[in-house]
Amino acid sequence: MQSFDLGKEGLRALNSALHALKGQTNMTAWEVINPKGAHAIAAGVDAPVDITVRGSTGYYCAGMNKQATIRIKGSAGPGVAENMMSGTVIIDGDASQYAGATGRGGLLVIKGNASSRCGISMKGIDIVVHGNIGHMSCFMAQSGNIVVLGNAGEALGDSLYEARLFVRGSVKSLGADCIEKEMRPEHIALLAGLLKRGEADGKARPEEFRRYGSARKLYTFNIDNASAY
C-alpha cells in the first residue's frame, strides 16, 4: 500500500501522483492520512486503484472520478464525487451539499446523511444514501438512480427528467413535475441490486420503498407528436 501523509507532502503532490497512474498500474492500493478537511482530494483520478482517505474532506473530493474506488473514513464537504464518470465513492459519514452533482456514471454511497441538492442534474450516476437527503435533491436529474433509506426534504425531484428516485421514508414535498409512480417488478429487482451494491441490503427491503419520477409535463419535445417537429 502507498501511504501518503497529506499534512507533510501536500495536496498537489498527492493529486499529481494519482494523475500519473493513468490506465493500468501495479500501485493499486493508496492510503491518505491527515487530510484535515483539504479540498479536491483525489480529484480527477483515472485508474483502477483503491484509495482510502482516513478522515474528513473538504470541497470536491473524488470529483470527476473514473475507475477508482475511493473510501472516505469520515464526512465529506460540498460537491463530493461531482461529475463522477465511473468507479465507486463510499463515505462512512455525512455528505454536504450537492453530493454527486452532474454525475454521469459509477456509484456513490453515503452511509450517513446528505445535505441539500444531493444528485442535482445527475446524468447516469447511482447514489445510495443510508440516511436522509436535504431540500432540492435531484433537481433537474436526467438519468440514473437514487436510493434513500431515510427521509427526503422539500422539492424532491424538481424539474425532473428520467432519473428514478426511491425513498423509503417520508418526503416533505415534491418539486415541479415530480410524482409518485408505481413500483413494478422490474423496479423491485433494480432496487434490490442497488441496495446490495450500496452495502444496504441488510438494512431495508425493496418493498419498503416508494418510487418517484417525472410526470413529463415540462418536456418541450413530446414523443406522441414526433411527426409534427
Q: Among 92-101, 129-138, 196-205, 216-225, which stretch is predicted with the lowest mean pLDDT? A: 216-225
pLDDT of 229 reads 52
Confidence of residue 119 (pLDDT cuts 50, 70, 90): very high
The average pLDDT across 149-169 equals 97
In the chain, domain spans: 2-218
Place of cell 445510495: 128
Q: For the whole model, what pTM was predicted?
A: 0.94
Give the residue-averaged pLDDT of 178-195. Answer: 97
How confident is the prediction for the chain on average, in pLDDT?
A: 95
* 216 or 228, greater pLDDT: 216
Across the range 99-123, mean pLDDT stands at 98
Give the residue carrying C-alpha cell 421514508. Answer: 169
Q: Is the pLDDT of residue 226 over 70?
A: no
Average pLDDT for residues 99-107, to the nearest whole number? 98
The strand order across the sheet containing 178-181 reads: 2-5, 29-33, 50-54, 69-72, 88-91, 107-110, 123-129, 143-148, 164-167, 210-214, 178-181
Is 117's pLDDT higher than 90?
yes
Task: Quote the cell numbers at residue 47.
Answer: 485508474
**pLDDT tens, position by position, 206-217:** 999 999 999 988
Specify the CATH architecture of the domain 2-218: 3 Solenoid (2.160)
Distances in Å between the alpha carbon of 172 and those of 92, 114, 130, 152, 209?
25, 15, 18, 6, 15
pLDDT, tens digit, 9 for 90 and up, residues 21-76: 876 677 899 999 999 999 999 999 999 999 999 999 999 999 999 999 999 999 99
The Cα–Cα gap between 143 and 213 comes to 10
Give the per-residue pLDDT at 222.
67
